[in-house]
Amino acid sequence: MITSLALTDFRSYASASLPVSGGAVVLHGPNGAGKTNLLEAISLLTPGKGLRGATAQEMGRREPGEAVGRAWAVMVTLHEDGEEVRLGTGVQTPGAARRIVRIDGETAPPGRLLDHLRPVWATPEQDRLFSDARAARLRFFDRLVFAADPDHAATVSAYEKALRERLRLLTDGAEGKPADPLWLDALEARLSEAGARAATARTRALVALQAGIDARGDRPFPQADLGLTGAAEEMAAAGADEADVVGMLGEGFVRARGRDAAAGRSLFGPHRSDLTAIHREKNRPAAEGSSGEQKALVLNLILAQVGRLAGQKAQPVLLLDEAPAHLDEVRRAALFDEIEALELQAFMTGTERSLFAALEGRAQFVSVEGGALFSPSPLVGEGGSRSETDEG
């Protein structure tokens, strides 16, 4: 459980800190107050670019007129099996491109964060997840996969790195410098192995997720029948050996060389796989659903996933940006009840406190305004009041 949070020169925050209670934390305040920035900060305590998909440079605070973002830091303290663990991330020089990760003060590879915390998020961008571009949907799904299967993050990033290198080699070749065939073979071998591993992990996660969704039939959220497109995923789902998937991908990459070089894009491989969903009750593709329906489908998927992770040492933490605003009252109440029932830690944003009326007395309410955080409400289980203000 996250017990405190501190930000330094992160986005709109010069310096802010917040003691956090377990369960639901409601961040409310006007547009532009910094609510999403706070969720983004927590989303950086997992490998990747966080919930905005932004670069480390964009995250450093800039005063008007400043061209380069400052050095920034995000720190959280966790309670884990009775022990305190400190996770931190940030950059030490203004404008640095690569953020570093610290666990209990020691520099650590980002993947180690997943030993402690598994943030899962839903943002307004996902309201059109199923009708949106394929790449965004696959990224969303991959994140759900690696919340339960940390190795998947490393697999996907190794795959993407090899894919970029192969394309560079092929496009250099198209400009007259022939690609070194041995290097190309080596890259494609690496790609095929990582690609097969990723496809297998996705397929396994899909089965588990679908089971989780099916077990949630009594909830007032729409259910999805999920599927994965992509030759590698289809082979994995049919029970093929991973070695056979590696072989199929290897041949595919060789065949695609000329086409990829001409197009300047990688047109073959499991980076082009897709998550499909049928709205079960309506028996229609989720892509045709309204944004409210898509949001509810996405939340059901996320809740099924965090439900699987709840109670494990590496704790799931749910980050819901403006989710309640997009749900009707019944689903909103169901969401809040579920967060409580699963004993999840969840940070939720909304412009109006009234959207969270059902949580009054059951959650920590934090008012966010102008880069400052204020939490005057009595905290659940503590009987007293606690307040915290920081300069913005």
Residue among 16, 20, 24, 36 that touches ligand ATP (CB under 6 A): 36
Torsion of CA 324, 329, 332, 336, to 10 degrees: 130
Residue among 62, 86, 216, 272 that touches ligand ATP (CB under 6 A): 62
Q: Min. distance of Cβ 98 from ligand ATP in angstroms?
A: 17
Question: Which residue, 9 or 260, has its beta carbon nearer to ligand ATP?
Answer: 9
Q: Does 34 bind ligand ATP (CB under 6 A)?
A: yes
Q: Does 12 bind ligand ATP (CB under 6 A)?
A: yes
Q: Which range touches ligand ATP (CB under 6 A), out of 24-32, 132-140, 307-315, 332-340?
A: 24-32
Q: Does 28 bind ligand ATP (CB under 6 A)?
A: no
**b or e along 42-52 (b: 16 or more beta carbons within 10 Å of the residue's beta carbon)?**
bbbbbbbbbbb
3-state secondary structure of 26: strand
Residues in the interface with ligand ATP (CB under 6 A) total 17
Q: Is 111 annotated as a binding residue?
A: no
Question: Which residue, 72 or 130, has its beta carbon nearer to ligand ATP?
Answer: 72
Question: Which residue, 304 or 327, has its beta carbon nearer to ligand ATP?
Answer: 327
Q: Is 36 annotated as a binding residue?
A: yes
Q: Which of residues 329-388 bind ligand ATP (CB under 6 A)?
A: 349, 351
Q: Is 31 annotated as a binding residue?
A: yes
Q: Is 230 annotated as a binding residue?
A: no
In angstroms, rounded to a whole number, what is the distance separating the alpha carbons of residues 308 and 318? 13
Q: Which of residues 83-122 bind ligand ATP (CB under 6 A)?
A: none
Tokens in use for 55? 């670069």
Q: Min. distance of Cβ 8 from ligand ATP in angstroms?
A: 12
In angstroms, rounded to a whole number, what is the distance separating the alpha carbons of residues 117 and 99? 18
Strand boundaries in 268-391, DSSP class E: 274-279, 284-285, 315-320, 345-350, 364-369, 372-374
Give the list of residues 6+ apart from residue 261 with CB closer than 8 angstroms, or none: 170, 171, 173, 174
Residue type, 147: A
Distance of CA 105 to the CA centre of its chain: 24
Backbone angles phi, psi at 270, to 5 degrees: -70, 0
Question: Which residue, 40 or 193, has its beta carbon nearer to ligand ATP?
Answer: 40
Q: Does 35 bind ligand ATP (CB under 6 A)?
A: yes
Q: Is 29 annotated as a binding residue?
A: yes
Tokens in use for 293? 């329906």
In angstroms, rounded to a whole number, what is the distance separating the alpha carbons of residues 317 and 20? 13
Q: Is 269 annotated as a binding residue?
A: no
Q: Does 11 bind ligand ATP (CB under 6 A)?
A: yes
Backbone angles phi, psi at 76, to 5 degrees: -130, 150
Q: Does 32 bind ligand ATP (CB under 6 A)?
A: yes
In angstroms, rounded to a whole number, what is the distance separating the alpha carbons of residues 21 and 339? 14
Q: Does 222 bind ligand ATP (CB under 6 A)?
A: no
Binding footprint of ligand ATP on the chain (CB under 6 A):
11-12, 29, 31-37, 58, 60-62, 69, 349, 351
Binding-site residues for ATP: 29-36
